[in-house]
Amino acid sequence: MRSVDNPVHQSDLVDTLSSIRQWLDDSQIAARGFRATRNAAGVVTLHAEFDDESEAVIFSERFRAA
């Protein structure tokens, strides 16, 4: 299993989550787990877990600058 962390500013969170959901659906990729944490500066880190290493890499590359 591979985890991918993507930082997102809180003001972009809704749009980013929507984009991620759409991309996962379109790509027919399922995240094993998904959670979010927020720091005091308003940066939310999205933690996604994948069973397939290649899917994790593709996800990381696609949403690296989220």
CB 1 within 8 A of CB 50: yes
CA gap 19, 24 in Å, rounded:
9
What's residue 10's pLDDT? 85
Q: What pLDDT digit, counting tens, does each position of 9-55 carry?
A: 888 989 999 999 999 999 999 899 999 999 988 889 999 999 999 99
pLDDT value at 65 more than 60: no
Type of residue at 14: V
What's residue 47's pLDDT? 93
What's residue 66's pLDDT? 44
pLDDT value at 3 more than 60: yes
